[in-house]
Chains A and B, each alone.
Chain A
Amino acid sequence: MVKGSKNKFLDFLQILVILLTAVFILVPIYWIVSGAFKQQVDIFQLKLLFTPTLENFEIIFRSPYNLFDKLVNSTLVALSTILIAIPIATMAAYSFSRFRMKGERLMFVTILATQFVPAVVIVLPFFILFRDLGILDTRLALVLVNLSLVMPFAIWMIKGFIDSIPLDSEEAALVDGSSRFQVILNVTLPMALPGVITAGIFCFILAWNEFLFALIITTNKAVTLPVGLSLFHAEEGVLWHLISAAGIMIMLPMFVLATIIQKHFVQGMTMGAVR
């Protein structure tokens, strides 16, 4: 009996902690979602009952905010980034995982070390570089910057997945008559696919949320969604109802991707090696 009540208490404690954590994470999201459907006058009021409106979404897509252009910019930049980064990162990761070469460790650490440099430090050199190349305020410039940000991360992540694939299948394919390229295409890539997709989605999220470089490098034509958020202030102060609506537009694709990623994570764990 004593043991039973102790267990019950622990169960209760567990649920309480889970609930508190959930509340902690969900309150800001609730605030944004509710704010997006509130009128400006209601925004600072904590009342749960208000007349919902879609007006905010209409405003953010109209001039002067033109959020649609920024949505297009963000989408194109993030998509181009992963479309270029993932194939190159996969090949680099394969080489790091499977071939032994001189200075390999140093090379790998150097690639990772680029991630440790604070973005603020390199934002100015990038600005000067792009100004001299004449590509300031273009999507190309953003794609280039994002590539330098996501590539080391993608290589590191995909390498981990390839490392976990047993060599047997690859060697079997080599002996069966494949060239190295066929091995990668027919055997390694299909087996590492959950990892490659996961890395792709993570990189998409990184590129999608990138703020600092986009803020400095773009001014008008190539402005992305996160930078677009900073436009929402007026004489009456910060326009939280519009920021909330725009925030939902930024979060929505992430929610979809998070759902997909979850599925692939599970698949990546269960696929495993055949022993």
Chain B
Amino acid sequence: MKDISLNIRDNEFLVLLGPSGCGKTTTMRMIAGLEEPSEGDIYIGEKRVNDELPKDRDVAMVFQNYGLYPHMSVYENIRYPLKVRKVPKLQHEDLVRKTAGKVEIENLLNRRPRELSGGQRQRVALARAIVRAPTVFLMDEPLSNLDAKLRVSMRAELKHLQHELRITTIYVTHDQIEAMTLAHRVAVMDNGIISQLDVPETIYNDPANLFVAGFIGSPPMNLLKGDLKEGIFKHSNFSVGVGFGECQEAILGVRPEDLELTGPDNTDCSGRVYSFELTGESTLVTVKLDDDRLTIRGPKEYRVSIDEIVGVRINREKCYLFDAVSQNRIMN
């Protein structure tokens, strides 16, 4: 981790997003007190917590592998934080049942974790975290072990739960869709630094650098190498006037939905179709331009065969330019 400065607002849902090994989990573990920062301060509220043990930080955490206690029943699992935090025994049953109700596992309380499905285990882990109201809620890739369909529904539930409980939440994920859908703000991390911290919309529409541009979006933004002279970007296959900028080694970024398929003549560039994919709500066409490939999102009725020559029109308003050396965005 290098020089990280992050200010998380009260009741905010902040997502730390990045590829594996970028330092997002380490950041979260330092907040939880499971890892010690070599320097710098961590504050929760007004309190500096660097020297506090995890138990004294008043945080709750949901782990990627759930971290359930396999030798305890679901009821005992959820009750555990109450027990060790010396919450009066009389309140336990009521609190556990109420929490179990919130995540819809009231009927599983007597089971052992190994008798549950992945989704159910995740709910138990959630219930254990919310059974007492912590100041901060930490979630380390909580949905990554679930199947695709369950992930979508749990995502919505998490968002609803956070809205309902109004607890500051820090959520770690490498899945940009999770980040975009859940977060109030996203911190995109790369190599131990925060590349960009902003609301999801800005992260998508206004990436600060090449890394963020390439990481966010599915399929990812097309990135083409070339040079930029007097506002004209020159690729080996085509050139396009973008109206500003000057750079020896530039990269043109354009999202698949900002490209339009046309006939091979009178267009910005043309190439052979490399692959054609149907996704249901749209089509994805990959076109080979010399050594590069360009992915274009087309209308769902669009049909083309492989090796056919097509033209591509670039929406100049939606082009991003980056300096290939510094990786920074070239702004107008």
Q: Are A274 and B114 in contact (CB under 8 A)?
A: yes
Q: Are A174 and B65 in contact (CB under 8 A)?
A: no
Q: Which residues of B contact A249 (CB under 8 A)?
A: none
Q: In this assembly, does A173 line the interface, its C-beta being within 8 Å of a C-beta of chain B?
A: yes
Q: How far in angstroms is the closest Cβ of chain B from A24?
A: 40
Q: A172-B68, A275-B145 are in contact. Are A177 and B63 (CB under 8 A)?
A: no
Q: In this assembly, does B121 line the interface, its C-beta being within 8 Å of a C-beta of chain A?
A: yes
Q: In this assembly, does A178 line the interface, its C-beta being within 8 Å of a C-beta of chain B?
A: yes
Q: Within the assembled complex, what's the spacing in Å between the Cα atoms of A202 and B55?
A: 37
Q: Are A174 and B34 in contact (CB under 8 A)?
A: yes
Q: A177-B84, A178-B55, A182-B84 are in contact. Are A172 and B61 (CB under 8 A)?
A: yes
Instruction: Write the chain B residue with the least CB distance to A180.
Output: B53
Looking at the complex, which one of A175, A190, A274 makes contact with B54 (CB distance below 8 Å)?
Answer: A175
Question: How many residue pairs, one in A and one in B, have C-beta atoms under 8 Å apart?
Answer: 82
Q: A174-B34, A175-B34, A274-B113 are in contact. Are A169 and B55 (CB under 8 A)?
A: no
Q: Within the assembled complex, what's the spacing in Å between the Cα atoms of A187 and B55?
A: 15
Q: How far in angstroms is the closest Cβ of chain A from B132?
A: 8
Q: A274-B113, A274-B121, A275-B145 are in contact. Are A175 and B59 (CB under 8 A)?
A: yes
Looking at the complex, which one of A173, A272, A275 makes contact with B80 (CB distance below 8 Å)?
Answer: A173
Q: In this assembly, does B69 line the interface, its C-beta being within 8 Å of a C-beta of chain A?
A: yes
Q: How far in angstroms is the closest Cβ of chain B from A274?
A: 5
Q: Which of B33, B71, B128, B138 has the most CB of A within 10 A?
A: B71
Q: How far in angstroms is the closest Cβ of chain A from B226?
A: 47
Q: Are A191 and B61 in contact (CB under 8 A)?
A: no
Q: Within the assembled complex, what's the spacing in Å between the Cα atoms of A166 and B69?
A: 11
Q: How far in angstroms is the closest Cβ of chain B from A177?
A: 4
Q: In this assembly, does B32 line the interface, its C-beta being within 8 Å of a C-beta of chain A?
A: yes
Q: Within the assembled complex, what's the spacing in Å between the Cα atoms of A52 and B65?
A: 61
Q: Are A191 and B70 in contact (CB under 8 A)?
A: yes
Q: In this assembly, does A235 line the interface, its C-beta being within 8 Å of a C-beta of chain B?
A: no
Q: In this assembly, does B219 line the interface, its C-beta being within 8 Å of a C-beta of chain A?
A: no
Q: Per-residue 0/1 for A148-177: is the Cβ within 8 Å of any B Cβ (1 yes, 0 no)?
A: 000000000000000000101101111111
Q: Which residues of A contact B33 (CB under 8 A)?
A: 174-175
Q: Which of A171, A172, A179, A182 has the most CB of B within 10 A?
A: A172
Q: Within the assembled complex, what's the spacing in Å between the Cα atoms of A179 and B59?
A: 15
Q: Are A176 and B60 in contact (CB under 8 A)?
A: yes
Q: In this assembly, does B85 line the interface, its C-beta being within 8 Å of a C-beta of chain A?
A: yes
Enumerate chain A interface residues (CB-CB to B < 8 A).
166, 168-169, 171-179, 182, 186-187, 190-191, 271-275
15 CB contacts below 8 A, A to B, read A166-B67, A169-B68, A169-B70, A171-B32, A171-B34, A172-B63, A172-B68, A174-B53, A175-B34, A177-B55, A178-B55, A179-B55, A191-B70, A272-B114, A274-B65
Enumerate chain B interface residues (CB-CB to A < 8 A).
32-34, 53-55, 57, 59-61, 63-71, 80-81, 84-85, 113-114, 121, 125, 128, 138, 145
Q: Which 4 pairs of residues, A with B, have the shortest CB-CB distance? A: A172-B67, A168-B67, A176-B81, A177-B85
